Amino acid sequence: MTSATTFETISISSIDGVCTITMQRPDVLNAFDNTLTTELAKALKDASRNEEVRVVIITGNGRAFSSGQDLADLKAKYVPGYEPHLSGDLKKRYDPIVRTIHNMEKPVIASVNGVAAGAGCSLALACDMRIASEHASFIEVFINVGLIPDSGSTWTLPRLIGFGRAMELCCTGRPVKAEEALAIGLVNQVVPVEELEDATQKLATRLASLPAKAISLTKRLLNQSFENDFTEQLNQEAFAQETAGRTDDHFEGVVAFIEKRKPNFTHK
């Protein structure tokens, strides 16, 4: 993905339909300041609109995925008499990021290289799939500062691991290390740290090679399934299948199967 925009806190690379967005504040464990949230939101929106991008990867440089809100930004504010108004900050900075990931008609993979805490954990959970290094951990730290999990965590976490486990993790703030995260369904894979990039790229490249329209419709249906009743979901499946059936990729896939050859998908 090419862009004239120069970013300060992220880097972007794109190859074969896979766009990788890397958070670049390793000295503060990729903590979110205003610049990082603004740039991440823009990069995700650009990727969503770019027809050449079929899969997005989000990762962090250094030892962490993201440690969440940069507390250095709060030192000057939190003095006697200060009254926080946090809802505006969420709606302006964090919600656009997770909403774009949720609504994007492309799979988004979190490549979790280290700690994902607070809003950093929420970011990883908002992605469609998660591959974690053996050094990764997930921490809903909000309770430790008298707050509730935000940036979508109260929506994504119970859907991934169930109400009981979600309640425990949100109300205790205890860390979940990579192997436990895999066991409870929080992540899709755990790999040695030196294999994380290759494992993520392998999955992303596989997804990027498959029919883009069918993948986007599948993501939409899976998200809708939590709100629709069974009959409505069947109706939505029928509509989506009609749409998918009219694509060139569907025709090519069937013909390739009949001819016993590898399909040549064009994402049309």
Confidence class for position 3, pLDDT limits 50, 70, 90? very low
pLDDT at 146 over 60: yes
Same domain, 219 and 203: no
The answer to whether residue 1 scores a pLDDT higher than 50 is no
Q: Give the number of domains in the chain.
A: 2
Q: Is residue 265 part of a domain?
A: no
9 neighbors 39 (Cβ within 8 angstroms): yes
Does residue 159 share a domain with residue 52? yes
Residue 83's CATH number: 3.90.226.10
User: Per the domain annotation, does 183 fall within a domain?
Assistant: yes
Are 205 and 216 in a shared domain?
Answer: no
Contact 75, 124 (CB under 8 A): no
d(CA 48, CA 55): 9
Is residue 82 very low, low, confident or very high in pLDDT (cuts 50, 70, 90)?
Answer: confident
Q: What is the average per-residue pLDDT within 78-82?
A: 82
d(CA 58, CA 65): 9
- Confidence at 2, pLDDT banded by 50, 70, 90: very low
Q: Are residues 177 and 234 in the same domain?
A: no
* Together in a domain, 16 and 132: yes
Per-residue pLDDT at 4 exceeds 70: no
Over pLDDT 70: what percentage of the chain?
A: 98
**Whether 217 and 198 share a structural domain:** no
Q: Kindly state the DSSP code that residue 144 receives in the 8-state scheme.
A: G
Question: Which structural domain, as residue segments, surrounds residue 23?
Answer: 10-209
CA distances to 22, 70, 148, 225 from 168, rounded to whole Å, are: 30, 25, 13, 25
- Is the entire prediction scored with pTM above 0.85? yes
> According to DSSP H, which parts of 210-229 are helical?
212-224
* 218: CATH: 1.10.12.10
Does 1 reside within a domain? no
- Any domain includes 263: no
User: Could you tell me which residues are beta bridge partners of residue 41?
Assistant: none
| Same structural domain, 227 and 126 | no
